[in-house]
Structure 1
Amino acid sequence: MSRIGCDLEELTSNAKQIQDDVLTKILKANANTEYLRRFLQGSTDKELFKKNVPVVSYEDVKPYIDRVANGEPSDIISGNHITAFFRSSGTSGGNQKIFPATSILSENIQILFTITSAIMYKCFDGFKQGKVIRFTFTHPISTTPCGLPLAPLITSFTKSACYKSLAKNSPSPDQVILCPDTKQSMYCQLLCGLVQRDEVVSVGAMFASVLVQVIHFLEIYWKELASNIRCGHVSEWITDLSCRDSVSTILVEPNPKLADLIENECGQKSWQGIVSRLWPKAKCIEAIVTGTMAQYIPALEFYSNNELPLVSKVYASSEAFFGVNLEPLSKPQHVSYTFLPNMSYFEFIDVNVDGGTTGEIVDLVNLKLGRYYEILVTNFSGLHRCRVGDVLQVTGFYNMAPQLRFVRRKDTVLSVYVESTTEEDLLKALARATVVLESSDLMYTGFTSYADVSTVPGHYVVYMELRAKVDYNSSTDVLLQLDNKVLVECCCAMEQSFNGAYRLFRSKDEHIGALELRVVQQGTFDSLMKFFLSRGASLAQYKTPMCINSVEALKTLEDKVLARFFSDKSPPV
C-alpha cells in the first residue's frame, strides 16, 4: 500500500486518539488567551473545556476577531501567531465574515490535496498524467487596520507558494490564473484549455456555480476564441502583459483545424454535452455540487450529456476543513464526506429530523448512524466550539471516522407565517420543478427565492432564468416558448414538495398565499452575481443565494422579470 493510503488508514483508524491530541495541542497553545482564560483560568483540561467553554456563533466571537484585526495582539484569541484573515463570500449567509488564520492552515491544505489527489489517481486511469482545468480566480488582497492580509480563502491559497507546488498540472500558466482582471483571466484560461484540449482529463472549479458561469462566458466568446486559435494570436483587449506573454507560450502557432472544430461544436443548435465535446478525454467534472450547489446539477448534467461524473472532492469552509469524498463516482445526492480528525477538533449537536435539538453534544467518534447533527468547530486559529451552521447526517464510517452527508444550512431560509422552509426543502422543490420543465424541453440556468410579506397573506416568490435545450444559440426570446400550463404546474410541483407545516397553512389561504414563479430575462443571474461582486464577493467563491434578503439585489431581479405564474391549487396536506 502507498504511503498516501497508509496516511489515510492511520488517520481514520486512530480518529479518537488524533482528535484528543488535536484538542490537547489547541488547549496548550490557547488556554492563556484572553478569550479562553475566562473559562479555563489557564487550564488545559479537556473535560473542563467541554464543561465551561460555551457553544458560540460567529457573532459572539466577532468582537475578539475585530480587535486583533484592528491591531491588538494575536493572543486575544490565538496562542499561535495570526498571519492573515480570510473573508467569506457573504452570498450564502448574507453577510461577509472574517476569520483569522495561522501557518497551520497551509499544512492542512497540503494534507487535503495529497489525499484527494491519491483518490482521483486511483479512481481514474491516466488522471495523473493529464491536465486538470480548475477555473480559478483571484480577488484583490486588502489589509486589515493592523496591516495583515485580508482576502477570500481561495485567493490566499492561489497566491501562496503552497499552491505553486501543488497545482502543477493546470493547462493555464500561473500568470493567467493570478491575473487580477477576472474577465481577462477567464478568457485566457478558456483559451489555454481549448488549445490543450486533448490533454485535459478533468474540467471544473471550486463551486458548480463558478463553472456554470464560465460556460455562460464561453457562449458569448466562443467565436472570438476560435478566431484567436485560427490566427495564433490573442485578442488585443487582453491588455494584461503577464497574461499576453504567458498565453503566447501556449498559443504558439495558427491552428485552423482546431478553430473549425470549436466553431462546429459551439455552433450547434444544442449545447448538450458541450463540455465532453470540447474536451473529449475529460473523465469527470470537478466541482462542489452538494448543499446549495445542488441547484446546478441539472445544468452540469446537460452540459456533459450525463457522460461525466460530477465529483465533489472536499467539504470545507472558512472556519475549517472537514473531510474528503472517498467515492468520487457517487451520484451527487449520495455524496458523503469522510471526516479527517487532524483538521480541527470537531463536536456535534444532536438534531432532530424536524430541526429541533436535544442539546446533547457528541464527539466525532461517537456519532450514530442515521442521526442528524449540527457541527461545532474548535480550530488552531482561535475559534472554540463555534457553530458553522451546517446540518449533516451520518451515512456510515470509514474505519473509526464517520462519513457525513451535507443536509442543509441550519437557519430557516423562507417563512411568511410560522412555517420553516430550509435550503433542503427548496432544493427538493427545485428538483420537482426540473422534471416538469424537462417535459417542455426547458432548463433553468438561475434560481433564487424570497418571502414576500408585502401581500396579505404573504407568499413565496421564486425567480427562475430559463432557456430552451434546443436552439441554444438562437436569439428567439424564451418568453415566446413559455407555456402557461407548464409553468403553473411548476408552481404546484414545488408547493407539493414543501413540508407539512407549509402545506397545512397554504390550504388555509388566509395564512400563506399561492407560490409565485417569476421568469426573468437571460443574463439576469449574471447581473445578480455582478451585484454581489461589486460589494466585495469573490467570483471564485460566489454562490447564488437560495434566498434574497437585500432590497438592492431584489431590484436587480425585479427589473428583469418577463412573466409571472401562480400555483392554481393548494397542495395536499
Structure 2
Amino acid sequence: MSVISDLTEKANDKLKILEDLTSNVKQIQDNVLEEILTLNTNTEYLQRFFHGKFDKEIFKKNVPVVTYEDVKPYIQRVANGGPSNVISTRPITGFLLSSGTSGGAQKIMPWNEKFLDYLTFMYDLRMHVITNYVKGLEKGKAMMFYFTKLESITPSGLPARTASSSYLKSSYFKNRPCNWYYTYTSPDEVILCPDNKQSLYCHLICGLVQRNEVTRMGSIFASVMVRAIKSLEDSWEELCSNIRSGQLSEWITDPGCRDSVSMVLGGPHPEVANTVEKICNEKCWKGIFKRLWPRTKYIETIVTGSMAQYVPTLNYYCNDMLPLVSTIYASSETTFGLNLNPLCKPEDVSYTIMPNVSYFEFIPLDGDENDVVDLADLKLGCSYELVVTNFSGLYRIRVGDILLVTGFYNKAPQLRFIRRDNMVLSIDMDKTNEEDLFNAVTRAKIIINSSGLMLTDFTSYADVSTIPGHYVIYWEVEDKREDKTKHMELKEDTFSECCLVMEDSFDNVYKRCRFREKTVGPLEIKVVRYGTFDSLTDFFISQGASIGQYKTPRCIGSGKPLELLEKSVVATFFSTGDCSFKN
C-alpha cells in the first residue's frame, strides 16, 4: 500500500469516528457523566452531594455550579500533598497552569493521563480534518514555533506546567507517530529548550535552512507568530551569517540546541543565506512569509478571542495569500472541540464540540442562571457560558468563556468564541478585566486631581500595530480651575506617572509580560479633546444604542469609534519607569 493510500484509509477511519461522535451527542454525553460519577462518587468533594445514590438527575440537582475560587481549596490540598481522592479517584499526576487570574496568581488545574489521551486524540483528528482541505502536506515539514517553560514542583512533588508544556514534555509527544503532521523543521531539543530566546532563534534558523521543505507553519497562539516575525526582523543578518558559515552564534549556549541545530545545518549553506538575505533586505516585508517559505500552504494558529487582534498583522506578512487556520478550542480545564471548516475566515471560526472528552453544560446568557442546559439542548443563535465536568476532578466549574451557537454538525453544536467573561484587554498572556482597569484608573486619578485636572471619561484599546503591542488608555480631562475652552497645561511628568501607576496596579502576569519578558510594551495615555466622549455617545446612539441604557465601552475595537478617538488626540504620554514587580 502506498503512503498516500495508507493516509487516505486512516483519514477515512478518523472521519468515521467523527461522524459517530457528532451523531450520538446526547448518549455519549450521558455515558461520559456516568463514567465520571461512577469513578468519583466516593471522593471527598462529591460525597457531600450524594447519599448512597448517584445519577444525572441528582448530580444536576445537588452538585453546585462553581467558580475556580470555590474549588481552589480542594485543589490546593492535593497540590500540598493531600491524597488525590479529595477530588479524583484516578490519581492526579500533575497540575496545569492557566495564564493568570485578575488577582495576579495563576490557576492550577488538576490533570491526569486522561487529559493527554483526549488532547492527543484531538490533535490526531485535526490532522485528518485538514487533509480534506489542503493537499500535498505529506511532502514537506512543519515550521512550528513550539516552546516549553520551566515547570514548578508543588509541595506534593507533582509538576505544575502550562498545558502546552505538559504535552510537549510527555511521552505522547516523544513517541508521536512518524508521519508528516508531526515532522518539524526544529529538533525536539529546540522545542524543549527552557530558554525561549535561544529556542526562538533556533526555530528560525532551522526553518530558514530548510525553507524549501516547509509546507505549513504555525504556533499555538497568533501572538507568537507576530513575535517570531519581529525576531526575524531584528536578527536576520545574524541568521544569514550563521547559515552561510554553518556555525551557530556563540550566545546559543544550550547544549541541546547547539548539538541538534548543528546537525540540521550540516555545514555552510551560502546559497540559502544569499537568498534569505536578498529577501529580508527588501524595504517592504509585505508577503514575506510566502517569499521566504514558498511552499507554505497555511498558517496554523489560534486567531479567535483576544488573538483576533493579530489577524491584520499576520495577513500583511502573508499578503492575504495564506489561510490562517484555527484548529482546536482548548483550555486548562479540558479540550472542547475542533474547527471542521479550517479554511474559513478567522471571524467565521466555530468549533464543533466533541462529546466524548468531558461533560459539558451551558448557562444561558439571556435566561435564568440556574437553568443550566446540556450540550444536546443548545439552541441556534443563543449565547451561553460554558460549564465543565472533566475526568481530572473538576465538577460543574464555570470556565468563563462566552459562546454563540452558530450551527450544528450532525447533532453536535458548533460554537463561536465571543469573549471571556468580564474580559477587557489582552496583548499576550496578560488578561486585564474591567475591574482591574477601573482600579488602575482610580489610582491614577489621584495624581490628576492633585494637579488641578479632572478625568471626565476614559476607554481603552489593545494596540498591536506596534511590536510588542501595548495598552492605550484614552482620557478626556478638564481643568478644574479654568474655562474648558482655554488651553490646558498637560505636564509630561504628571501623565507619565499616571501611566506607571496604572501599570503598577495591574496583576503580576501583566507585569511579567511587560517588565521581564517584554512581550507587552509601555502603557500609553492619549488625551483627547473636550467633548470627544459626547461624540462617541452620539455615534453609538446613531448605531442603535439606547440613550437610556448607554454605557461608555471600556474597551474599543477597531473601526469608526477608534477613528473618532484617534482624530481627537491632543497629547500622548508613555510609561517610562519601572514598577514593583518582584517575581
Q: Same fold (TM over 0.5)?
A: yes
Is 1:570 the equivalent of 2:535? Answer: yes
The alpha carbon displacement at 1:562 in A equals 9.0
The alpha carbon displacement at 1:283 in A equals 0.6
* Residues 308/42 of structure 1: CA separation in 2 closer, same or farther (3 Å cut): farther
> What does 1:47-86 correspond to in 2, within 5 Å?
47-86=57-96
Percent identity between the two aligned chains: 50
Could you say which residue in structure 2 is the equivalent of 1:201? 215
Pick aligned residue for 1:411 from 417, 422, 430: 422
* Residues 94/11 of structure 1: CA separation in 2 closer, same or farther (3 Å cut): farther
Letter matched to residue 570 of structure 1: S
Could you say which residue in structure 1 is the equivalent of 2:522? 557
SS at match of 1:40: coil
Pick aligned residue for 1:38 from 40, 45, 48: 48
The alpha carbon displacement at 1:88 in A equals 0.9
Whether the aligned pair in 1 keeps the contact of 2:460 and 2:474 (CA below 8 Å) is: no
Pick aligned residue for 2:140 from 125, 130, 137: 130
Whether the aligned pair in 2 keeps the contact of 1:90 and 1:97 (CA below 8 Å) is: yes
Is 1:240 the equivalent of 2:254? Answer: yes
The alpha carbon displacement at 1:536 in A equals 9.3
Rounded to whole Å, the distance in 1 between the matches of 2:458 and 2:203 is: 43
Is 1:277 the equivalent of 2:291? Answer: yes
Could you say which residue in structure 2 is the equivalent of 1:165? 175
Is 1:452 the equivalent of 2:433? Answer: no
The alpha carbon displacement at 1:94 in A equals 5.0
Whether the aligned pair in 1 keeps the contact of 2:422 and 2:433 (CA below 8 Å) is: no
Whether the aligned pair in 1 keeps the contact of 2:68 and 2:397 (CA below 8 Å) is: yes
Rounded to whole Å, the distance in 1 between the matches of 2:246 and 2:440 is: 52
SS at match of 2:522: helix
Letter matched to residue 456 of structure 2: P
The alpha carbon displacement at 1:117 in A equals 0.4
* Residues 180/491 of structure 1: CA separation in 2 closer, same or farther (3 Å cut): closer
- Using CA pairs under 8 Å that are at least 6 residues apart, name the structure with larger relative contact order, 1 or 2: 1
> What does 1:157-306 correspond to in 2, within 5 Å?
157-166=167-176, 168-306=182-320
Rounded to whole Å, the distance in 1 between the matches of 2:164 and 2:103 is: 18
Letter matched to residue 157 of structure 2: G
The alpha carbon displacement at 1:424 in A equals 12
Whether the aligned pair in 2 keeps the contact of 1:209 and 1:543 (CA below 8 Å) is: no
Whether the aligned pair in 2 keeps the contact of 1:136 and 1:177 (CA below 8 Å) is: yes
Rounded to whole Å, the distance in 2 between the matches of 1:340 and 1:216 is: 36
Whether the aligned pair in 2 keeps the contact of 1:452 and 1:460 (CA below 8 Å) is: no
Rounded to whole Å, the distance in 2 between the matches of 1:361 and 1:543 is: 41
The alpha carbon displacement at 1:77 in A equals 0.6
Rounded to whole Å, the distance in 2 between the matches of 1:33 and 1:90 is: 28
Whether the aligned pair in 1 keeps the contact of 2:383 and 2:402 (CA below 8 Å) is: yes
Could you say which residue in structure 2 is the equivalent of 1:106? 116
Rounded to whole Å, the distance in 1 between the matches of 2:100 and 2:370 is: 28
Could you say which residue in structure 1 is the equivalent of 2:156? 146
Rounded to whole Å, the distance in 2 between the matches of 1:413 and 1:176 is: 34
The alpha carbon displacement at 1:464 in A equals 3.4
Whether the aligned pair in 2 keeps the contact of 1:56 and 1:385 (CA below 8 Å) is: yes
The alpha carbon displacement at 1:252 in A equals 1.0
Matched positions, count: 477
Rounded to whole Å, the distance in 1 between the matches of 2:187 and 2:306 is: 31
Could you say which residue in structure 1 is the equivalent of 2:386? 375
Whether the aligned pair in 2 keeps the contact of 1:19 and 1:345 (CA below 8 Å) is: yes
The alpha carbon displacement at 1:164 in A equals 2.2
Rounded to whole Å, the distance in 1 between the matches of 2:268 and 2:238 is: 14
Q: TM-score, normalised by structure 2?
A: 0.76
* Residues 233/449 of structure 1: CA separation in 2 closer, same or farther (3 Å cut): farther
Rounded to whole Å, the distance in 1 between the matches of 2:243 and 2:101 is: 36
Unaligned runs of 5+ in 2: 1-8, 426-430, 446-453, 477-483, 485-494, 542-583
Letter matched to residue 410 of structure 1: D
Larger radius of gyration: 2
The alpha carbon displacement at 1:357 in A equals 5.0
Rounded to whole Å, the distance in 1 between the matches of 2:212 and 2:400 is: 42
Rounded to whole Å, the distance in 1 between the matches of 2:56 and 2:252 is: 56
SS at match of 2:37: helix
The alpha carbon displacement at 1:253 in A equals 2.2
Whether the aligned pair in 2 keeps the contact of 1:451 and 1:461 (CA below 8 Å) is: no
Rounded to whole Å, the distance in 2 between the matches of 1:302 and 1:264 is: 19
Q: Which runs of 4+ in 1 moved over 2 A?
A: 41-44, 91-95, 164-168, 356-359, 422-425, 448-453, 455-458, 461-468, 527-537, 561-569
Q: Deviations over 1:134-176 (max 9, x none)?
A: 2011111221101011111111110111012336311111111
* Residues 154/92 of structure 1: CA separation in 2 closer, same or farther (3 Å cut): farther
Higher mean Cα deviation, 260-269 or 57-66? 260-269
Could you say which residue in structure 2 is the equivalent of 1:96? 106
Letter matched to residue 441 of structure 2: D
Unaligned runs of 5+ in 1: 415-421, 426-447, 469-487, 496-508, 510-518, 545-552
Is 1:317 the equivalent of 2:306? Answer: no
Could you say which residue in structure 1 is the equivalent of 2:581? none
Could you say which residue in structure 1 is the equivalent of 2:580? none
Higher mean Cα deviation, 163-172 or 231-240? 163-172
Rounded to whole Å, the distance in 2 between the matches of 1:536 and 1:209 is: 12
Rounded to whole Å, the distance in 2 between the matches of 1:381 and 1:336 is: 26
Is 1:388 the equivalent of 2:353? Answer: no
